[in-house]
Chains A and B, each alone.
Chain A
Amino acid sequence: MFDFDATLPLMAVQFLLLTALLNLVFYKPLTKALDERDAYIRNNQATAKESLARAESLVKDYEAQIAAARKESQSILEKAQAAAREIVAQKIAEAQKEVQAQKEQAADEIQQQKATALSTLEQQVDSLSRQILEKILGPELVR
């Protein structure tokens, strides 16, 4: 069972040869393949992460833009509403002024007409009283 002979060194040499051969045809190429695949996967992951980050920043950007646009539209709306209110107030004031003016004019006219009417009435009163006097006293006496 324990008979050592030249098998021992020959087996050792043979094993070293096998190690060298397997290093050439098995360990080196497959290790290279594994490392390359690792690098490839890592690269892809890195680029994917990068694009994800870019996409996220874009989303944030767009969201900021949307928020700004919304704010702007809000302010425009408010401005428009304020302007409209102002215009309405102005128009109302104008209309009131006009109405006031017309009213005043109408009052003036009425006053005027009243004055003319009163003056004609006075004249008529005068002529009528004269006529009445003529009738009663006779025409010669009146003058």
Chain B
Amino acid sequence: MEILGSLTILNTFTLAELEVGEHFLWKIGNYTVHGQVFLVSWIVIGALLIASLAATRNIQTVPSGIQNFMEYVLEFIRDLTKNQLGEKEYRPWVPFIGTLFLFIFVSNWGGILVPWRLIELPSGELAAPTNDINTTVALALLTSLAYFYAGLRKKGLGYFKRYIEPTPILMPITVLEDFTKPLSLSFRLFGNILADELVVAVLVLLVPLFVPLPLMALGLFTSAIQALVFATLAGAYIHEALEGHGE
């Protein structure tokens, strides 16, 4: 404790400190919300909206600049959705899966690339919204709702036949799947992003110069992969609900 104490004294001016589980709480009525998550998510949303508006303000037949870039993004998302859902079904699901990808991707990269630590908050710190379990669980639950909605809309109540369809013996597993899907989705994203930020923070605490850079680059890579994985899995789950076992 002595040594740790001297460390903190030494580090009173440091650039980094470890704060896990501390939040910038806002109170709305009887409920509390994590203010830092919302602040950064609003910035992310603003960035997405501004980029979209800039791209679609003046649409040309021959695209250039930001329109070209956003068309590239849209084609990427469309390809991703089409690969998962197939040519026939993918169109209505492009906005949902695309927004999942864009929101997670911009959140993750924003958390790494923007020096949020320079902005002081009364408590907690600004970081990627995806490093908060509430955000990832919200996204994962929405994905669950989305695939239930997709299945019910396509097949009506016949959708629930999939629990007993091959054989009722497997029903516990299929029911369990409905719980493990959002759980794995949310914890995968949450764990990856938080772990990456913690690793970088620890390394910055130990060696504040140059050494964390490769890990930050790795963080850029993993967070892009996580966004892709989340969107791809959401597409795969929706596809599964649309197709069912029998067909």
Contacts and interface: CB of A to CB of B under 8 A. Distances in A.
Interface of A: 1-12, 14-16, 18-19, 21-23, 25-27, 29-31, 33-34, 36-37, 40
Interface stretch (B44-52, B147-155, B235-243): B44-52
Interface in B84-140: 94-96, 98-99, 102-103, 129, 132-135, 137-139
B138 A9 contact: yes
B163 interface: no
Given A5-B33, A6-B28, A22-B98, A27 B74 contact: yes
Name the 10 nearest CB pairs between A and B, nearest first: A6-B31, A26-B52, A7-B134, A12-B138, A11-B138, A29-B56, A23-B95, A8-B134, A19-B99, A25-B52
Given A15-B99, A19-B95, A22-B102, A3 B23 contact: yes
A18 B42 CA distance: 10
B142 interface: yes
Contact of B45 (A4, A18, A29): A18
Contact of B74 (A11, A12, A21, A31): A31
Given A31-B74, A37-B61, A7 B48 contact: no
A18 B37 CA distance: 15
B59 interface: yes
Contact of B33 (A10, A27, A30): A10
A10 to B, nearest CB: 6
B6 interface: no
Nearest to A7: B134
Contacts of B178: none
B224 interface: no
Interface string B19-55: 0110100001001111001100100010011001101
Interface string B200-218: 0000000000000000000
Contacts of A30: 55-56, 59, 67, 70-71, 74
Given A1-B20, A3-B23, A4-B134, A22 B52 contact: yes
B199 interface: no
Overall SS of chain B's interface: helix
Contacts of B95: 19, 22-23, 27
B11 to A, nearest CB: 23
The interface size bin for chain B is: 35 or more
11 contacts: A1-B20, A6-B32, A7-B34, A7-B135, A8-B135, A22-B52, A22-B102, A25-B52, A26-B55, A29-B56, A33-B56
Give the one of B37, B56, B139 with max A CB within 10 A. B56
B71 A34 contact: yes
A74 B32 CA distance: 102
B52 A7 contact: no
B16 interface: no
A64 to B, nearest CB: 41
Given A2-B133, A11-B138, A33-B71, A25 B21 contact: no
B103 A18 contact: yes
A108 to B, nearest CB: 103
Contact of A5 (B63, B74, B103, B134): B134
A34 B99 CA distance: 18
